[in-house]
A and B are shown apart, each in its own frame.
Chain A
Amino acid sequence: MIFQARVRAAVLPLLLSACSYQHYQSDFGGAAVADRQFLTLFWIFIGVCAFMYALVIAFLIAGIARRSRKAEANVVETGRHHQSDPLMRSTLIGWAALIGVGLAALAIASFVADRSMAKAATNEKLAVTVTGNQWWWDIVYSSDQPSKMLHTANELHLPVGVPTRIYLNSNDVIHSFWVPSLGGKQDLIPGRNNAITVVPKTTGIFRGQCAEFCGTQHAHMALVVVVESYPDFIKWWDGQLQPAPAPATPVALAGYKYVTTGPCSACHSIGGTPASATVGPDLTHLASRKSIAAGMLPMSKGNLYGWVEDPQSLKPGSKMPTIGLEPDQLHAVVAYLETLK
């Protein structure tokens, strides 16, 4: 009985993950990527490798069967059949040719995919810098006008159909930028400038995550990618450039005072307030995001309460310390954070 319940408890989440996240994060997706060269490349590799693997296994089985027959006939193995046996000779030549053709096919396919990616990189329309941190993503949108430069975190908005160059860097250890639905994966290496070009094809919300083990909370280093129409994207950008609204209620005002003078301001910045530290994620429009703690928890009042009060029990080892806020301080801080739309 208990065993059955345990099995059910173990299987149910798997089923859930198979259903609800099918489009949210799909490894074979490439759903949102414009030219599907990556997916094609993937299937060419799978095809060639699967064919060669099947062939090797078939020869192995044939070899085992043949060997046992010979053993019965008590024939001494010389290891020089290919010199005497014409069939063996032609088979070996054919085998070598097959390997050559297979490798050439893979090389040509990856060269073509690589070139088409490099071509997309030359007509970039938008430049975004994503910096990896343990365990969250810092995002900066570049613009010709300094006043249009946008600093945000953990939620990447991209306009559909626009080639976007994403520059990748890291502040601590090696991370990896991987949004399966956009195709491609690229490491974020401290002290090295990497970049990847994406051209989203369809609008939607996709999930990305760190794909290089980067410490205790690597599994909870996720990224929400929102692909939207160009006008929507510009509207979002302009909205995010606005400073945080002034607190309207007395509770929010108390929260504002605590956040901007207390421990929060030692690490976080909120546009338009004295809080301007860059150690942790920017909070200017926190409440407009879909998740908190780098894609770990959905944005909600309850999750904000839990996260602010005790981040170390939700994400142990996270760089955000448990401050130990008193209940009145906690109410005020959450009331203020909720106004940051």
Chain B
Amino acid sequence: MSSRFRVSLLVLGAAALTLTACDREEHHSRAKPVGETVPAGMSPPTIFPGSSNPPALDYRAKLYDNNANAIARGQQLYTQMNCVGCHSHGGGGMGPPLMDDQWRYGGRIDQIATTITEGRPNGMPSWRGKLTEDQIWQLAAYVRSLSGLPSKDAVSSRSESMSAGTPQSLTPHPETNNSDAVPQ
């Protein structure tokens, strides 16, 4: 192999790497205009126990899942909206932990968004009308990152808090154990 060929291979490889970074951090600062948001009671049904034929992912999933900006904004909202009060920083307390591999109502991003929008029995409040659809999906993207589900290049490689904890990109990726939802 000539050295020139090797150099051009290297350059091509580096160029390909930069391409993968392109949609890592797409910003959707403009929420949808009036009339395009989902009206009350229209969240997609997200529990499909034992179904071998789960419905397709919501179209919004690809806008927020694996999106670094959405995850970072979700992280801020997680503290600001006091999710910490019940779920702690993912370890759980009054509410169930979010950083383990158990999902009572499913671990797909559209399932989590529905959980936040509609609320769930035994304490989870409904955030419909308090947060915008955009913010709810950002929160859902962050909640997924608590258990290491999004790809590592989308999550923050440093801890956002004052104490130097383990960066999120080092969160182990557990095998998801969905007793009633489809495997991820």
CB distance B81 to A266 under 8 Å? yes
**Which residues does chain B contribute within 8 Å of A325, judged by CB atoms?**
34
User: Which of B30, B132, B162 is within 8 Å of A316, CB to CB?
Assistant: B30
CB distance A321 to B135 under 8 Å? yes
CB distance A317 to B27 under 8 Å? yes
CB distance B34 to A324 under 8 Å? yes
Q: With A190-B162, A279-B80 in contact, do A322 and B129 touch (Cβ < 8 Å)?
A: no
Give the Cβ gap from B75 to chain A, nearest Cβ, in Å: 11
Instruction: Write out, one digit per residue, whether chain A residues 303-331 have a CB within 8 A of any chain B CB (1) or not (0).
Output: 00000000011001111011111100000
Closest to B128 in A: A263
Most buried by B among A321, A323, A326: A321
**Which residues does chain A contribute within 8 Å of B134, judged by CB atoms?**
321
Instruction: Write out, one digit per residue, whether chain B residues 136-149 have a CB within 8 A of any chain A CB (1) or not (0).
Output: 00000000000000
Please report the C-alpha to C-alpha distance between residue A316 and residue B80 in the assembled complex, in whole angstroms.
Answer: 20
**Which residues does chain A contribute within 8 Å of B35, judged by CB atoms?**
324
Q: With A312-B29, A312-B31 in contact, do A322 and B162 touch (Cβ < 8 Å)?
A: no
Q: With A321-B135, A322-B132 in contact, do A267 and B80 touch (Cβ < 8 Å)?
A: yes
Residue A243 interfacial (CB < 8 Å)? no
* Total contacting residues, chain A, CB less than 8 A: 21
User: Which of B33, B131, B162 is within 8 Å of A266, CB to CB?
Assistant: B131
Please report the C-alpha to C-alpha distance between residue A318 and residue B32 in the assembled complex, in whole angstroms.
Answer: 15
User: Which of A172, A263, A313, A316 is within 8 Å of B130, CB to CB?
Assistant: A263
* Total contacting residues, chain B, CB less than 8 A: 19
Give the Cβ gap from B51 to chain A, nearest Cβ, in Å: 34
Majority SS at the chain A contact face: loop
Instruction: Write out, one digit per residue, whether chain A residues 249-263 have a CB within 8 A of any chain B CB (1) or not (0).
Output: 000000000000011
User: Which of B29, B34, B131 is within 8 Å of A317, CB to CB?
Assistant: B29
Residue A191 interfacial (CB < 8 Å)? yes
CB distance B130 to A266 under 8 Å? yes
Closest to B79 in A: A279
Q: 8 Å CB contacts to B: which residues of A252-295?
A: 262-263, 265-267, 279
Residue B126 interfacial (CB < 8 Å)? no
Q: 8 Å CB contacts to A: which residues of B97-149?
A: 129-132, 134-135
**Which residues does chain A contribute within 8 Å of B132, judged by CB atoms?**
263, 321-324
CB distance A312 to B30 under 8 Å? yes
Please report the C-alpha to C-alpha distance between residue A263 and residue B126 in the assembled complex, in whole angstroms.
Answer: 12
**Which residues does chain B contribute within 8 Å of A262, judged by CB atoms?**
129-130
* Interface contact tally, CB-CB below 8 A: 44
Residue B159 interfacial (CB < 8 Å)? no
Most buried by B among A318, A319, A326: A319
Please report the C-alpha to C-alpha distance between residue A323 and residue B27 in the assembled complex, in whole angstroms.
Answer: 17
Give the Cβ gap from A144 to chain B, nearest Cβ, in Å: 30
Residue B37 interfacial (CB < 8 Å)? yes
CB distance B129 to A321 under 8 Å? no
CB distance A324 to B162 under 8 Å? no
Closest to B81 in A: A266
CB distance B31 to A313 under 8 Å? no
**Which residues does chain A contribute within 8 Å of B29, judged by CB atoms?**
312, 316-318
Most buried by B among A191, A323, A326: A323
CB distance A322 to B31 under 8 Å? yes
Q: 8 Å CB contacts to A: which residues of B35-66?
A: 35, 37
**Which residues does chain B contribute within 8 Å of A324, judged by CB atoms?**
31-35, 37, 132
Q: 8 Å CB contacts to A: which residues of B3-23?
A: none
**Which residues does chain B contribute within 8 Å of A317, judged by CB atoms?**
27, 29
Give the Cβ gap from B39 to chain A, nearest Cβ, in Å: 12
**Which residues does chain B contribute within 8 Å of A322, judged by CB atoms?**
30-31, 132
**Which residues does chain B contribute within 8 Å of A279, judged by CB atoms?**
80-81
**Which residues does chain A contribute within 8 Å of B80, judged by CB atoms?**
267, 279
Please report the C-alpha to C-alpha distance between residue A323 and residue B133 in the assembled complex, in whole angstroms.
Answer: 9
Q: With A262-B129, A263-B129, A266-B130 in contact, do A321 and B162 touch (Cβ < 8 Å)?
A: no
CB distance A263 to B131 under 8 Å? yes
CB distance A326 to B31 under 8 Å? no
Most buried by A among B29, B35, B134: B29
CB distance B34 to A326 under 8 Å? yes
List chain A positions with a Cβ less than 8 A from chain B: 172, 190-191, 262-263, 265-267, 279, 312-313, 316-319, 321-326
By Cβ-Cβ distance, the 4 closest A-B pairs, closest first, are: A324-B34, A279-B80, A321-B132, A322-B31
What are 6 A-B pairs with beta-carbon distances under 8 A? Answer: A265-B130, A267-B80, A317-B27, A321-B132, A321-B135, A324-B31
- 4 additional contacts, CB 8 Å, given A318-B29, A321-B135, A324-B132? A191-B162, A312-B30, A322-B30, A322-B132
